[in-house]
Chain A
């Protein structure tokens, strides 16, 4: 009997410990009082005519299926404010998205919240001229791998403005612009996501005056292989990026599930990136990293996927190892200019949860660097040649690491003088 009691007691203790561990994940639990106006709102979407406005009333509306607009011109979808009009897809039985807009032109969404879709809360594809204003997207309850992937997700679209929005608790990226052109992302807040804001394979993107905090990683500027288009020309300025140290709760297999926690900004394989006037602080791995697709692929965050299964951290290939076959893809960053930013850190010691953090203990006197550059170059190309040039200038506090990742860190260095240059972007 006593043995059994001890056994039982230890089970209780283990459960409680794991609960405490889990409770380090944040929670977003607004008060909701759902009503069902599904048929009427659905009809308003489906029968929307060109040049019309869908006025969403005040209330917390629950839906069993996606709301969609297809092939429409000049339609405004307007709520009574992000706190007053809430569209919830909690427990939806049909469709993956909350709101899905396809093949349209001149679409405006403003002043409401979208919550708890099975997949993405708001997905817009193949659309030209899109404004998303004062929209809040969130997954409610404790942050979880079960949450949908993207909060605000325009893809294969052009002339996009995303402003004054809030993106909370996405298991991939809160605001994610993919394979798009001419994009402005400004004055938004992104928190509790795996990635706060992400620009992927997009061209002519301006990201400014956003507040990005308490995500696994704050801002990702990525170019990935195997897709229809590649990106360049990104400007990121006047952003506040801080405290992005959340445990990675991304779905194993997704690219963000391999993002090391505690990175403020990651610029990967993208060309012509102008990063200036930002305030980046309090990250346990590094405030900013400039990397090629190759080094990113090699790292694994030990904590990521731990809730799923062991095989996830070993067996899953989140990286397309055949990227070298993709002739249109260039896996190296180039013409990246980091200037006039403010970097700071209240954390003294690097995280032990990923290879970068551990490396700092061995190679960097157990200090967290502000800026990391992997230094991996295309064959036969020199560090200072124009197409791969990285310039770092005029920042407030910019402790620097040049990894020389290609050569097993032989030329690991903190010397910034090689990168003291200017770029016209």
Chain B
């Protein structure tokens, strides 16, 4: 028995060694000591405003986000998922300038216009209007006929937000609608990551400011009228056609707003199509998730991957009708591994409700009809 025990121990030891060799190749992040450099690599200061308060977008206590003159709120029918963050969006227009209505593309703005997007978390999601923590404010500024992206990170006391180029990580906690405590690591993007989504060809461009996204009633108590109508009344929007000619996006999580297919496509459009369109940074994939794409293969149905590498998850097609579990789209939406997850940036948790929506859509596609 004693001998047996010893043999066991030796064998066990060999096993341990064998397995530990296997682990030596792991992709875990090693330790790195913080260092600084003298002189520093970049001495240059940019001319941008260092603090958000310098723009005077908001009156009163800045963190209440009450818009000043020339600053107008707006909402989208189906917004981008950003780690469950809430967003408050505004448009700043210089005096005597207007937005020009365009039917199928992003509205046209004059130089000096600024799009303002605040990302925040209510402490308790069941009380949206209660205490909140603002994480960051992203700006798109139109200057010399080009848009540029800037980002401001809020301080702990919510007194102001400060210009940041390199992004950072911050921990965010909240109580969700079921009363559960949630906590995530939130990635604030660096300046190039902003461009990653906002590039159209070689130009930075806004994404959500389109007729089909803005064609909705304000949900806030104060207004309750159609946003486009409100803009027209305020004389800041020109070229608005008759209302029945204005396209409207489904609302992804409102069942009565459209069919499952339409709601799924609206979700894919805002979450994916900024890269996955014929001019976007993912054009080489051949996948086009724009709402109006009619070609089934380009939509992903029975489309094999091109250069997905590990991202294909050993699956054959982007979408296999009737089989979400065999669809690359779902595999990548469910992943949190860099190099596999989609979208590549902008989320650090899985959007469960989004995955359910797209799964239901794929489930409902009949294999025989393709």
Contact = CB atoms under 8 A, between A and B. Distances in A.
Interface of A: 1, 5, 8-9, 11-12, 15-16, 19, 22, 32, 34-37, 39-47, 49, 54-55, 57, 59, 61-62, 64-65, 68-71, 90-96, 102-103, 116, 118-119, 125-126, 141-142, 144, 146, 148-149, 155-156, 171-172, 178-179, 226-228, 251-254, 308-309, 311-312, 315-317, 320
B24 interface: yes
Contact of B316 (A15, A172, A315): A315
A35 B33 contact: yes
Given A70-B195, A251-B309, A41 B41 contact: yes
Interface in B86-123: none
Chain B contact surface mostly = loop
Contact of B11 (A12, A44, A118, A142): A12
A423 to B, nearest CB: 32
A254 B166 contact: no
Given A46-B192, A55-B41, A15 B339 contact: no
Contacts of A95: 193, 338, 344-345
Contact of B305 (A44, A102, A118, A253): A253
B33 A44 contact: no
Interface residues of B, number: 61
Given A5-B7, A19-B21, A254-B309, A70 B34 contact: no
B171 interface: no
A320 B37 contact: no
B30 A156 contact: no
B308 A253 contact: yes
B191 A15 contact: no
Interface in B8-65: 8, 11, 14-15, 18-19, 21-22, 24-25, 27-37, 40-42, 44, 46
Interface of B: 1, 4, 7-8, 11, 14-15, 18-19, 21-22, 24-25, 27-37, 40-42, 44, 46, 165-167, 187, 190-193, 195-196, 199, 202, 281, 283-284, 286, 304-310, 312, 314-316, 337-339, 344-345
Contacts of B4: 1, 5
B314 A308 contact: yes
**Which residue of B187, B193, B310 has the most chain A CB atoms within 10 A of its CB atom?**
B310
Contacts of B304: 317, 320
B25 A62 contact: no
Given A91-B27, A91-B30, A95-B344, A42 B202 contact: no
A388 to B, nearest CB: 27
Given A71-B202, A102-B281, A118-B337, A141 B24 contact: yes
B286 A57 contact: no
A252 B40 CA distance: 45
Contacts of A45: 192
Contacts of A59: 35
Nearest to B31: A34
A37 B314 CA distance: 37
Contacts of B44: 47, 49
A363 B166 CA distance: 62
A268 B286 CA distance: 22
B18 A16 contact: yes
A47 B314 contact: no
